Amino acid sequence: MAAPSDIVSTSPGSTQGESNDPWRRLRVLKNHKSIVAGAIIVSLVVLAALLAPVLSPYDPIEGHPIDRLKGIGTPGYLLGADQQGRDMLSRLMWGARSSLAIAVVPLAVAGLIGLVLGSVAGYSGRIVETLIMRGMDIVFGLPPILLAIAVAATLGPGLVNLMISLTIVLIPPMTRVTYQVVVILKEQTFIEAARASGASSFQIIFNQILPNSVAPVIAYATSLAGAILVFGAGISFIGLGIQPPEADWGRMINDGRSMLDLKPHVSTLPGLAIFVLAAGFNFLGDGLRDLLDPRMRL
């Protein structure tokens, strides 16, 4: 996990001489190949997930025992079949849904909570700041992977519980990164101007601070998405996440473990899928960070 301070930008948003012409904006992307690569990978996976009911050749749960463990390229089974004769391609397409949910939903929810908590803590200072930030430090002081596993184990297996456990772990870093952005923003002259014009703290937080901290927080969240996907699928892999017979990439790796030496495609294909989607998120995250904070360009 990168340090939150890595992506804090001091520029308050859209003041970098951008034009309103959408094509010119798109041309900017030419210099950000990593955004393009990441966006293409992630969009393809999103498309596969959305179109799974239409495009997937078979039902992801229904097995065809006679076709079990068919290899890659067998007629009718483009990517082979698993130990119950379920079509791998169909399961991978349906599994994309839970994988995307694991990566995106906890980050979105934790991002929203973090935005509010971080803005309030950063702007108000004093006791509120101490309470929120020291509270976050306590949760941050716990090993994150262990905490998520403890929460997932407590709530019991399932997609929703897995997402809750990941959200809990993500709230402290999201709050902290918002806080760091807000502490810098607070000193900017446009905030001072708003204050001088008689705006209340509430108005300043919601009308000035929040909109200006969204971009760096989204960039930070995107840079975490790959790691969260790998980790969330890992929790599924050890049996605490999504339960069979639902198609899920982490779970599928575990299902194929016992026949790794004979039919490696059963567990290597879903692993490859996790890897590719995580790489997509990481490219996208790197690119967004470069775009927002050229000082940190890699």
Partner 1 sequence: MVAFLIRRILFLVPVLLGGSAIVFTLIQLAPGDPIDVLLGVYSSPESRQALREAYGLNDPPYVQYFRWLGHILQGDWGISIQQRVPVLTLVMEKFWITLLLTGAAGSFAIIVGVGAGIVSAVKHNTWIDRVILVVSVFALSMPSYWLGLLFIFVFSVQLGWLPTGGIRSFIEPKSTLDVIEHMIMPGIVAGLTPAAIIARVARAAMLEVMRLDFLTALRAKGLSEGAVILRHALRNAMPSIVNMTGLQIGYLILGGALFVEIIFSWPGLGLEIYKSVVGRDMPMMLGLVLFSTFVFVILNLLVDICYRIMNPRIQSE
List Cβ neighbours of 295 (8 Å cut-off, separation of 6 or more): none
Cα(112)–Cα(158) distance, rounded to whole angstroms? 23
- Given CA atoms 39, 40, 43, 48 in this order, what sign does their dihedral have? negative
How far apart are CB 278 and partner 1 at their closest, in Å? 4
Asked if residue 31 lies in contact with residue 230, where contact means CB atoms within 8 angstroms, the answer is no
Nearer to partner 1, 110 or 233 (CB): 233
How long is the chain? 298
Applying CB under 8 A, the residues found at the interface with partner 1 are: 1-3, 134-135, 137-139, 141-147, 149-151, 153-156, 226-227, 230, 233-234, 237-240, 250, 253, 257, 260-261, 264, 267-268, 271-272, 274-276, 278-279, 281-283, 286, 296, 298
List Cβ neighbours of 66 (8 Å cut-off, separation of 6 or more): 85
Nearer to partner 1, 8 or 209 (CB): 8
How far apart are CB 217 and partner 1 at their closest, in Å? 20
Which has the closest alpha carbon to 273: 81, 88, 84, 69? 88
Give the helix/strand (H/E) hosting 127: helix 126-140
Nearer to partner 1, 191 or 288 (CB): 288
How far apart are CB 246 and partner 1 at their closest, in Å? 19
Asked if residue 87 lies in contact with residue 58, where contact means CB atoms within 8 angstroms, the answer is yes
Nearer to partner 1, 76 or 143 (CB): 143
How far apart are CB 143 and partner 1 at their closest, in Å? 4
Judging by beta carbons within 10 Å of its beta carbon (0-12, 13-18, 19+), is residue 281 exposed, middle or buried? buried
How far apart are CB 186 and partner 1 at their closest, in Å? 19
How far apart are CB 83 and partner 1 at their closest, in Å? 16
Which amino acid is it at 256?
A: G
Nearer to partner 1, 185 or 230 (CB): 230
Nearer to partner 1, 119 or 161 (CB): 161
